[in-house]
Amino acid sequence: MLTGWRYRLASATGTAFVVVAAVLVANHPVSQSAFTTVVPLFDRLEPTVLNGSSLRRAIALSVLAVGGAAWPLYKPRPRRILDTVVLVQKRVFVGGFVLATLGYFKWSHRLPRATLVMTVGLVAAVLPAWFLLIRASPTDDDGRIVIVGDDPAQIARVTPAVDAPVIGYLCPTVARLATSGSAKSSEAPIADGGVELRHDDSEFADDAVQSTVLDSMTRLGGLSRLEDALVEHDIDTVVLAFRHADRAEFFGALDACHEHGVDAKVHRKYADSVLVSEGDIGALVDVDLEPWDPLDHLFKRLFDVAFAGVGLLALVPLLLAIAVAIKLDDGGSILYKQDRTAVFGESFPVYKFRSMIENAESETGATISAEDAGSVDPRVTRVGRVLRKTHLDEIPQLWSILVGDMSVVGPRPERPELDSEIQDDGIDWEKRWFVKPGLTGLAQINDVTGHEPAKKLRYDLEYVRHQSFWFDVLIVIRQVWKVLSDIREFTSDE
């Protein structure tokens, strides 16, 4: 696996090599003859073979256009296969568009049309494989490892299980200077951003043991330097040794690993099964940053786009009717915007049809509506009560699904303020953040709301563990049936 400047050099060099090879193959007389004979729309063209300086200029122009368009790819990317393939192909087609534009304006160094189409097709097919190859997992066991944590005692516990070269560790200065006494007072499991820590402090009864372990390694800085350390030291694997992680620390470390294509591992003794990959052996196990099977990931995204796109188009008349009803009800704004928590604790905007009075939370702050518990919320308007009972207030979230912030199925996103309150109550709410939030989920089809966070978390974790495309389809079918039943029940009551 390549990281840092080696990855940048390999990606840029490989891109140039693939483009040059593609132009040479596309320019070959055999390729030209076959393409202009067999392929429709090009079967009327005469084969055009470039030679000498014309060929050299065409190659140089192609390398500049495609290589320049691929510039963002030269930064280490996430390991997800389909994301990498799609991203590379997008950049290749951008480069092809540049070359086609130059040809349209009769640029003297332009590629013939048949050569251009063959070149773009070949590069789009081969180049993704090169980027996947240089980001593949290492074949040897001597990866370069760094340990990241917020507590020296926890780092000292985990380090003996690492059987490969450890470059160093990252830990906040305050934690590095902390005494072990505060680190040994826990008797109950402590949630570590989805990793349930089960501390056994007897093996570190005094400070000397911790000091010996930590002094044998180099401190590379605080947690804010993680991304710099990954690049500067060409890190292959990050071992997470958090004890008191919050959203900014633990999920920030996971996000950095994900962005740079670096493996993340935790100690089996301190890890909850939500995070770890199935089938791992040994003391250190992989954190499953992308639990979806690549094919399921593709089907899920295609389903999301199709569901949201068709839904928005089909419901245009209903959207207009709801907008008019809200305006006639109290004359206030039609849509209501909220920030919700997404993957790795990041936030994104969610839009809903306004169902409460304007500025309903200006005095009370972010709260869960009493209607979720079956009571009456006085802040809900007349139209809003209908929208909530029929779930029509959720329709604008189809846009969030279309742009990729949400999925049709996944844990329902909550507001960051409420996330913090739930976590403060001792519930490991962060475990839900390892998959994209959804419009519906396993908790929703079982009528579990935010008023029962512990129960809701169990359903959400059940989904995280067993997610698949067909599982999503079954949940959607049950949700559609539930919505229709709620609408029928509401109309019959009226």
Burial of 477 (0-12, 13-18, 19+ CB in 10 A): exposed
Measured CA angle at 142 (ends 140, 148), to 5 deg: 125
Average pLDDT, the chain: 78
CA distance 384 to 2: 54
Q: Write down the pLDDT at residue 121.
A: 92
221 CB-near residues (< 8 Å, 6+ apart) = 170, 228, 229
Question: Rounded to 5 degrees, what are φ and ψ at 344?
Answer: 60, 20
Q: At what angle do helices 294-314 and 316-330 cross, to 10 degrees?
A: 60
Q: How confident is the model at residue 92 (pLDDT cuts 50, 70, 90)?
A: very high
pLDDT tens profile 161-206: 888 888 899 988 765 555 444 433 333 333 333 344 444 444 444 5
DSSP H or E segment with residue 138: none
Q: Cα-flanking dihedrals φ and ψ of residue 162, to 5°?
A: -85, 115
For CA atoms 461, 466, 468, 474, the dihedral sign is negative
For range 324-330, the mean pLDDT? 89
- For residue 485, what are its two tokens? 């039943």
- How high is the pLDDT of residue 330? 83
Tell me the pTM. 0.52
SS3 434: helix
Which tens digits make up the pLDDT trace of 64-79? 999 999 988 887 655 5
* 81 pLDDT above the threshold of 60: yes
For residues 419 and 297, give the distance between their C-alpha atoms in angstroms, rounded to a whole number. Answer: 27
Q: What is the predicted pLDDT for the residue at 65?
A: 92
Residue 324 reports pLDDT greater than 50:
yes
Checking if the pLDDT of 139 tops 80, the result is no
Question: How much is the pLDDT for 337?
Answer: 87
Is 60 exceeded by the pLDDT of residue 120?
yes
What pLDDT shows up at residue 276?
Answer: 58
Q: Decide if 128 contacts 11 (C-beta within 8 A).
A: no
CA pseudo-torsion sign 201, 203, 206, 207: negative
The Cα-based distances of 447 to 139, 314, 443, 444 in angstroms read: 47, 27, 6, 5
Give the C-alpha separation, 235 to 170, whole Å.
13
Residue 324 to residues 327, 351, 382, Cα–Cα distance (Å): 5, 17, 14
Here the tokens at position 53 are 């300086």
Write the pLDDT tens digit of every residue in 213-234: 787 888 898 888 888 888 788 7
The predicted model gives 365-371 an average pLDDT of 56
Q: DSSP letters along 287-315, please? A: B-S--S-HHHHHHHHHHHHHHHHHHHHHT
Domains (range + CATH), the chain = 4-134 (no CATH), 145-286 (3.40.50), 294-493 (no CATH)
The pLDDT tens digits of the residues spanning 373-384 come to: 555 677 888 888
Q: What is the pLDDT of residues 266-320, one digit of tens each?
A: 887 766 555 555 555 567 877 765 555 556 777 888 999 999 999 999 999 999 9
123 - beta bridge partners?
none
pLDDT band at 398 (very low <50, low <70, confident <90, very high): very high
Q: Give the C-alpha distances (Å, rounded to integers) separating 432 from 3, 167, 175, 195, 443.
A: 29, 31, 27, 12, 12
CB within 8 Å of 303: residues ≥ 6 apart: 408, 469, 472, 473
CA distances in angstroms from 110 to 50, 57, 113, 119, listed in the order given: 11, 9, 9, 13
DSSP per-residue string spanning 167-211:
EEEE--HHHHH--TTGGG---S-EEETTEEE---GGGG-SHHHHH
Q: Are strands 284-286 and 438-440 parallel, antiparallel or unpaired?
A: unpaired
Crossing angle (nearest 10°) for helices 113-134 and 29-38: 110
- The DSSP bridge pattern shows strands 407-409 and 438-440 to be parallel
